Every structure is written in structure tokens, then in C-alpha cells.
Structure 1
Amino acid sequence: MQQILDAIQAASADPSSISSEDFAALALPDHYRAVTVHKDDAGMFEGVASRDKDPRRSLHVEDVALPELGPGEAFVAVMASAINYNTVWTSIFEPVSTFGFLERYGRLSELTKRHDLPYHVVGSDLAGVVLKTGPGVTKWKPGTEVVAHCLSVELEDSDGHDDTMMDPQQRIWGFETNFGGLAHIALVKSNQLMPKPAHLTWEEAASPGLVNCTAYRQLVSKNGGQMKQGDNVLIWGASGGLGGFATQYAVNGGANPVCVVSNDEKAAIARSMGAEMIINRAEEDYRFWKDEHTQDPREWKRFGAKIRELTGGEDIDIVFEHPGRETFGASVYVTRKGGTITTCASTSGYMHEYDNRYLWMNLKRIISSHFANYRESWEANRLVAQAKIHPTLSRTYTLDEVGQAALDVHHNKHQGKVGVLCLAPEEGLGVRNHELRAQHLDAINRFRGV
């Protein structure tokens, strides 16, 4: 791995010093360093409350065997990755153990059997360099600096050829497949690869992937909210990993974001992104649930009144939903007649409850949104590369500290995205376009230290 890292750093210092053929000739190790969960540990948290499940106990940093490289695939030297909620879910074996995903994938073909192992290499983000490609790959050459989106599809069924998210064999790489991005080497399909934004460091470039593409489809795409200029967009967790991108898309797209945050510091971040309408939940003390089983419609109404106070009497056109159970009843209530609630997650609980009278009698729509197809991911990454959308990276850990990084995300002690250095020996490396970076340095570092 040291020879690979030396080659990458030499290319960063002088691109002409090493060719694609030189990268292709690099010897690959038979084992590599990776973050894993073990199948034998799947029952380790039985009887433990979700919040008390500790990813530091279940996430292992160890050497694993390099898998076989198949057709249409690529090995990528991972310089940096990031933590997503799906890694937290994997580490605490909720809502199910991911080894069920790997077993089912392994039954699909001789090639996919590689994924069904007693360990799971996790991680759904990366920035790095292509090392080797399998048969049939023509677009991506060894030595190319890339990021990867996390959609894995087989595309052997007709269903996926209009929207790859509809493919029956659609999976999230590093969550429902093995050989993910929290490692020194990752195995990806070549149609996961996209150009690395040249003005960003490795850790900055790795951090937008999953959440940026998710936010793009959920809010902007024809498959999601189809946001237009002038729309009032309610964004829960507006300065978080997902919400931070939704806020940027709303501001850049001429919409009116109504940003829900939990403290003054997060409100300041939302304002720095250009948002003007802020609801601080800590100040307003909304309690949408009277108890574990009963919601309080009076709080929905109070929340709606606050929104109309900010918007000049208008209701919400699109809700950017991801907390789930805690907020969903309020989200349905405050949406205007004919409006849309888009949902991509349920971080506060999967069993949503809402008063259906406010949905059907007012012709509102609930749209489910899950990650993004390749085209949507490419467009989202293109906007990052053009410095129109910026990373939300707040802190970076080393690979050996990944358990603590996942615990921080699990307990919501983070802000924006949490990065992980893999092969990169330190932060700040990998920048190609220093001029573009200098123009946007404040925005790039907006979440730093928060």
C-alpha cells in the first residue's frame, strides 16, 4: 500500500511524473486495511436500547483479503471516506443485520458470492484513485481521481432502464453489498464513479456523496419534489448532513427554505448558507407527541402558525422529511393543499403516524425517495465540482478512530458530515484547482469546528 500511496502523492505533486500505465502496473496487495463488522457479533447488542449500542465495540479495523475483480468493476485506492447513518445502523445491527443483505446478494450469481462473507467491509462514500479496472471498463483509467456514488445495480431487468433506482437488484454499496469505502481499497462498479472535484481535498470530496445525491433527488429531481423558484420548502435538520445540502439547493434554486434547527449555532450555519427563515426548536419547544403513543395536533397548529408568520401567511409547498416518526404528523399537517411531503429516512423511528384527513382531503402527496440514480448523482457531483454546492464536512477522523466517529453520529454529536482519512496521511491533501478553492474557502469550511 505504501507504493500505491507514494504514486498517488507523486501524481498530486507533478501529474506528468506518473502515467496511467504506471498506475496500472502497480502491484496490488493480497490483503488491505478495512473497517468491518463480524457476522458472529450480530447478537452482541440483544436487549440493549438503541442509544446504548456502541459502534466502538462492533466496528473492527483489520486486514481483509482483496476480492476478485469482476467485469465492469474497479479497484479504487481510498484516500478518504465518510460516516453515514447506514454505517451506524450496520454497526448496531439495526433495524436488521446487514449479513442478510450479503447472503441474498451472494445467491444471485457466481460473481456475487464474493460478497457473502463472515465479515462486512462497510462505508458508502469515497474519494480516491482508480487502481485497476475489470473487463469491459472503458471510461475510467488507472490513475484517475474519482469519487463514488453508492448505487449498485445489475441492470439485467427492464425495470431499471428508465430509472436505475427501480432496478429489482438495486442496492446501496457498502451497506447492502460488501467491500465498501471505509478501507484502503474499495471494490465498486465502474458506473459508480464520477470525477473528483478538483478544488477539494480528499476528505472534503469524499463527504458529499451519499447525502448530496440523496438531497438532489429528493428535492430537485423529477423523481422527487421537483422544486421550483418561489417554493416554500420546509427543511428538517437544515444544517445537518442531509439538510445542509437541501438548504443549499433551496437557496441556489430560488426557493424559500424554512429551516428547522435545534440551537443558535446551527441557526447561524443556516443563515450563512443564505437562509433567512429559521425555526429554532429549542426556543419554540415544540412537543409533537404528548406521550409515546399520542400526538398533539395543537402543536402542529402552533408550528404551522410559526411558518406562516415567517412566510407572510403562506404554507409549505415541499417538506424535506427525514426524521420520520417524531415529525411526520406535523409535516403532513403544515403542507399546503396540493403540496408534497418527500421522505428519504426515518432517523427518529420508522413507524410514521399522521392524520390522513389532512392528506386526502387536501390532495397532498407523500413521495418516497431513496438515494439517486447515476444521472442524478452525476448532476449533484457536477454542482459540487462547479463550487455551486459545497461540502458540509465538520470534522475528520483517522481510520483507526472510526468507532468513535460512528458513535458521534449515532448520538448526533456531529454537525454536517464526519469524514474519515483512509490512505491519506493527513488532512488538506488532494487539491488541484487552488484558484477555484480560494474563491470559496469560507463556504467550504462553513461547518468546520461546529
Structure 2
Amino acid sequence: MRADEVGLFEGLPTKDKDPRRSLHLDEVPVPELGPGEALVAVMASAVNYNTVWTSIFEPVPTFTFLKKYGRTGPLGARHDLPYHVVGSDLAGVVLRTGAGVQAWGPGDEVVAHCLSVELEAPQGHDDTMLDPQQRIWGFETNFGGLAQLALVKTNQLMPKPAHLTWEEAACPGLVNSTAYRQLVSRNGAAMRLGDTVLIWGASGGLGSYATQFALASGATPICVVSSPAKAELCHRMGAELVIDRVAEGFRFWSDERTQDQREWRRLGSRIRELTGGRDVDIVFEHPGRETFGASVYAAKKGGTVVTCASTSGYMHEYDNRYLWMNLKRIVGSHFANYAEAWAANDLVSRGLIHPTLSRTYPLDQAGQAAFDVHGNRHQGKVGVLCLAPGEGLGVRDEAQRERHHQAITRFRNV
């Protein structure tokens, strides 16, 4: 991203802002390596919705974040540049490490989670997501994963799952960790055996991991999708209860200012029809404005709406009577701390959770990849090859791959 193009889409509606115009493939200097950091050769990366936000300069240009980081000191100042190397996922090989690093060294095959913290204040030492200097790497910092080389803190590194290819291993990081904290962790909804969970966008990058966590935990997911193909993907993952919101004609807003509460009630009735009369214990929220009123209504008495992101809009509206009079909770959840990210990655390494890679792009088509995610033209996650010369490379454990091959590849070319 280039700072001199911040006004590129001025006056255009969000849907018409085209990441292919704003994301560029350029050569830039390799950043200086600081203490506790690593320079990683990126074999593959992936596109997340934060890359879409960056590429369309919404809700604010990310150069605002880089300038703020630059004011923290000399190491932060390296990030305040007239360009932003974006991307919050990677799978690759450690090239060099900075002073004080003992756990990782050159040649280690790694994936990276996207939590960047300084941990110089006390607030972050119980939960690193509460650190006042908490940032999302490749979004609020520079030198992200959509590049040949990336700069990370070594407390972002985790072992690459040995049975996955580079592009498969690059995909779970951000969304898998986010879904783990949001659903499984005590910092999120603390999902339990037997819970019923409503999952919006259940075949997408985030929802596909939420669906897998629900199934693996003995919960019952109710998967909300927008097409028969996406419904089929949920069935492939093992989900039985699926709502195609487009086919069933759900429209929660009668106009831009007015929600249709009859549609909330229709959704509640549809859920009870599928579950044999049960309301949902947990609503896994991330669309935001479009669905939030319905989510608050649909949660059972004493239930939980756990929310991250807001891909359809940040200004949520809901009827508070359904919240306060029914003792429901809204829990905000943002990415994951190192322990949560490590646990989520370990589940992938053990073959209990699987990547949801559907398609891979070369690095020079990262703009097209972001464009496709922006327009919801994708399933699961889309990968980007960086230094890897082609797909299918990087597998070290062929036996485990063979055991899980069908699950690993179920999203491909759908």
C-alpha cells in the first residue's frame, strides 16, 4: 500500500472500492532486525478481511496506525514509512533472529500468529490481548506476510504443521486463533459439550473454523450460509443443521434505518424447528450491523453473543429489551493471546482441526485475491504463494497427511 494513494477511492461506496488498484507489488528495503525479532522467508501467506480493509482505506487508512507506532521509539519508527507491507498470515522459514532469541533459529519451519505486543506494561501479563501496545501484525504494523520476507516478533512464531503444504499451513493462523478465543477460550464464550451455536458465515474464513470447533467440542452448530454450495461445504465438515439465508429469504432490514423484527422471530422459529425446540446457547457474530439485532434476539435466555469484526458495518443496533430482560451477554473478542494461538495451532498440527483453503493465488495477484474476498466470491480461505514456486510443497509428514487428506482438501476448488 502507498501512502500517497490514501484518497484513491474518495467518494466511492465501499462495494466499489477495488483492492486491485491499491495493492502493488514493489521492491522495498529489508527492515533492520531488532531484539526479540525474526526475519522469515515467506513461502506462503493468506488474505484476511483486515487486508481488504487496508486495501480500501476503511475504516481509516492503516498509515494512521503506522504513524502511531512510529512515535513509540526507534524500533517502532521503522514501521512509519510511506508504504505498508500488509498481510497477517505466513508459513515460512526463519532466516535470522535478533538479540536475545533462544527458542527459534535459522532453518526452523514456522507459521506466525498476528499478535504483536511490547509487554512493557502490567496489563498484558495476565492476557496479552490487554497489553496497551497490542497490535495486529501486517495491519497495525509494517512488514507483514504478503511478501517474500517478513519481520515478526519471535513470540509470534509457532511450529508449522508437518502434514500441511506451505499454502495450507499459512491459512489457519488468524482465523483459527480468532475462532478459538471467541468460542473455546474462557476469554470468549467458553463453549461446552452439548451447547447449540449459531454460526454466521459458517463456510467462510472465520466461520469454517468456528464450525469445526463446535463439532470437535461436542456442540451442535447451526450454520448460516448464503448459497447451496456453501451449505454443501458445511455438510462436508459434518454439520447437519444449515440455514441458507438467501434461499429462505431472510432480510433483517426493511430499509437502511429500520430492522424488521418479524424476520428476527422467523429466524428464531427456524432455529427451534431445526433443533427440536431449543434456542441457541451461543451466537458466533462477525457480520455486525446486518445481523446483530437478530443475533441478540436469537440467543436463549441467559445466552451469549460473542462478537468480533463487523464486515457489514460497525454501528450495531439491537433491541435492548431482549438483552437485559433475558439476562443475555454480549462478549467482545479480538484475535487471541499467544497461549490461545498456540493451542489452536496445536489442534491443526494434531489433525483435529483442518485448513479450509479453497484457492491459491501468486503474489502478483494478491490484489485479485483481496478483491475476491471483498466481494465474497470465495469459500473458506484463499492463499497466496510468495517464495514457494508452486502448490503442494512443504509436506514433512506424509503418513498423517494421508490420514486426513479428504478433510484437508474438502474446500479446494468449490
TM range (shorter): over 0.9
User: Which residue matches 1:312?
Assistant: 276
Per-residue CA deviation, residues 336-357 of structure 1 (Å, 9 max, x unaligned), is 0110000011000100000000
For residues 121-160 of structure 1, the aligned pairs below 5 Å read 121-160=85-124
User: Which residue matches 1:52?
Assistant: 16
Give me the TM-score of the superposition, normalised by structure 1: 0.92
1:272: Cα distance to partner? Answer: 1.1
SS in 2 for 1:111: helix
User: Which residue matches 1:408?
Assistant: 372
Q: Distance in 2 between matches of 1:328 and 1:88?
A: 21
User: Which residue matches 1:222?
Assistant: 186
Q: Distance in 2 between matches of 1:110 and 1:144?
A: 28
User: Which residue matches 1:365?
Assistant: 329
User: Which residue matches 1:260?
Assistant: 224
Q: Distance in 1 between matches of 2:194 and 2:238?
A: 15
Question: Does the alignment pair 1:350 with 2:300?
Answer: no
1:427: Cα distance to partner? Answer: 0.2
User: Which residue matches 1:98?
Assistant: 62
Aligned-residue sequence identity (percent) comes to: 73
1:43: Cα distance to partner? Answer: 0.6
1:431: Cα distance to partner? Answer: 0.1
1:118: Cα distance to partner? Answer: 0.3
Q: Distance in 1 between matches of 2:290 and 2:308?
A: 14
Q: Distance in 1 between matches of 2:164 and 2:170?
A: 9
SS in 2 for 1:379: helix
Q: Distance in 2 between matches of 1:277 and 1:173?
A: 36
Question: Does the alignment pair 1:330 with 2:294?
Answer: yes
Per-residue CA deviation, residues 227-265 of structure 1 (Å, 9 max, x unaligned), is 000000000011110000000000000001011111111
The match for 1:80 among 44, 51, 57 is 44
List structure 1 runs of 4+ shifted beyond 4 angstroms.
none
Larger-Rg structure: 1
Give me the TM-score of the superposition, normalised by structure 2: 1.00
Letter in 1 for 2:212: Q
SS in 2 for 1:359: helix
Question: Does the alignment pair 1:184 with 2:168?
Answer: no
SS in 2 for 1:77: strand
Q: Distance in 2 between matches of 1:57 and 1:270?
A: 33
Letter in 1 for 2:110: V
Per-residue CA deviation, residues 112-143 of structure 1 (Å, 9 max, x unaligned), is 10000000000000000000000000000100
User: Which residue matches 1:397?
Assistant: 361
SS in 1 for 2:304: strand
Letter in 2 for 1:138: Q
Q: Distance in 2 between matches of 1:345 and 1:86?
A: 9
1:398: Cα distance to partner? Answer: 0.2
SS in 2 for 1:64: coil
Q: Distance in 1 between matches of 2:35 and 2:159?
A: 21
The match for 1:194 among 158, 173, 176 is 158
Count of residue pairs the alignment pairs up:
414
The match for 1:170 among 134, 146, 164 is 134
SS in 2 for 1:347: coil
1:167: Cα distance to partner? Answer: 0.3
1:280: Cα distance to partner? Answer: 1.0
The match for 1:426 among 390, 401, 404 is 390
Structure 1 unaligned residues grouped into runs of 5+: 1-36
SS in 1 for 2:123: helix
Q: Distance in 2 between matches of 1:90 and 1:261?
A: 25
Letter in 2 for 1:153: V
Question: Does the alignment pair 1:107 with 2:71?
Answer: yes
Q: Distance in 2 between matches of 1:302 and 1:402?
A: 40
User: Which residue matches 1:300?
Assistant: 264
Q: Distance in 1 between matches of 2:288 and 2:148?
A: 34
Letter in 1 for 2:5: D
SS in 2 for 1:346: coil
Structure 2 unaligned residues grouped into runs of 5+: none
1:439: Cα distance to partner? Answer: 0.7
Letter in 2 for 1:357: R
Letter in 2 for 1:267: A
Q: Distance in 1 between matches of 2:138 and 2:398?
A: 32
1:171: Cα distance to partner? Answer: 0.1
Letter in 2 for 1:51: K
User: Which residue matches 1:208?
Assistant: 172
Q: Distance in 2 between matches of 1:238 and 1:308?
A: 18
Q: Distance in 2 between matches of 1:292 and 1:343?
A: 22
1:180: Cα distance to partner? Answer: 0.3
Letter in 1 for 2:163: H
Per-residue CA deviation, residues 150-170 of structure 1 (Å, 9 max, x unaligned), is 000000000000000000000
Question: Does the alignment pair 1:244 with 2:173?
Answer: no
1:49: Cα distance to partner? Answer: 1.0
Letter in 2 for 1:420: V
Q: Distance in 2 between matches of 1:111 and 1:259?
A: 44
Letter in 2 for 1:225: A
Letter in 1 for 2:237: M
Q: Distance in 2 between matches of 1:259 and 1:60?
A: 36
Per-residue CA deviation, residues 348-394 of structure 1 (Å, 9 max, x unaligned), is 01000000000000010000000000000000000000010000000
Letter in 1 for 2:157: L
The match for 1:437 among 380, 387, 401 is 401
